[in-house]
Amino acid sequence: MRQKYLRKFLIFLAVFAFVLLLPALLIVADGLADELQTADVAVVPGNTVGPDGRPSPRLRARLDKTVELYQKGFFPNIIVSGGVGVEGFDEAAVMRQYLIEQGIPAAAIYLDSAGLTTELTARNTAQLMKQHQWRSAMIVSQYFHLSRTKLAFAKNGIAPVYSAHADYFELRDLYSICREVIGYLSYYLR
């Protein structure tokens, strides 16, 4: 009787590993493998803004990576994309202000205040790229978010798309990685 339950448990573990762990490992590996090429524009998806109106540490890490790459000449333009969060702040406006404080010229920053989701960010980016005749983009986000974002961009006709991950890691990433497995599958099946 015990062997029967042990066998079922081992089968469950094998299925779990295949269904969740393998895709999670692929998402992590893809996200950590930066694709640094010169691009017409960088796109920084929004994230939490604190109650004080400042970017959260996670969002600040995305913006700091963007500043670093901008200063190295990887792109001349930046799209900051987000919406109004529960704190009541427009993420894109907060991101723009932070970038300006770090020395990025205001004229190089484009706001997408309607980027409430990764899909909306991709759609809005496609429109801005067409409007400005930009051909290539680099996404700057958390490593676990890059695979799904690149997929959304590709489905919206944006190519080539490069990527860079923010230098920020936290325990919450374990949850976020699992969520991204489901999110990627959802975007893939659309």
Q: How many Cα atoms are found within 13 Å in the side-chain-facing hemisphere of 18?
A: 6
Q: How far apart are CA 74 and CA 68, in angstroms?
A: 9
Burial category of 159 from C-beta neighbours within 10 Å (exposed 0-12, middle 13-18, buried 19 and up): exposed
Q: Could you report the per-residue pLDDT of 69-103, keeping only the tens digit for each?
A: 999 999 999 999 999 988 889 999 999 999 999 99
Question: Please, what is the average pLDDT of the chain?
Answer: 93
Q: pLDDT at residue 2 above 80?
A: no
Report the candidate in 9, 37, 48, 76 with the shortest Cα–Cα distance to residue 163: 37
The pLDDT, as a whole number, for residue 185 is 86
Boundaries of every domain in the chain:
2-189
The pLDDT, as a whole number, for residue 1 is 65
Q: Evaluate whether the domain defined by 2-189 bears CATH number 3.40.50.620.
A: yes
Please state the rounded mean pLDDT for residues 19-40.
Answer: 92
Give helix 22-32 / helix 143-155 axis angle, nearest 10°. 90
The band of 13, judged by pLDDT with boundaries at 50, 70 and 90, is: confident
Range from 14-23, 33-42, 142-151 carrying the lowest mean pLDDT? 14-23
The band of 12, judged by pLDDT with boundaries at 50, 70 and 90, is: confident
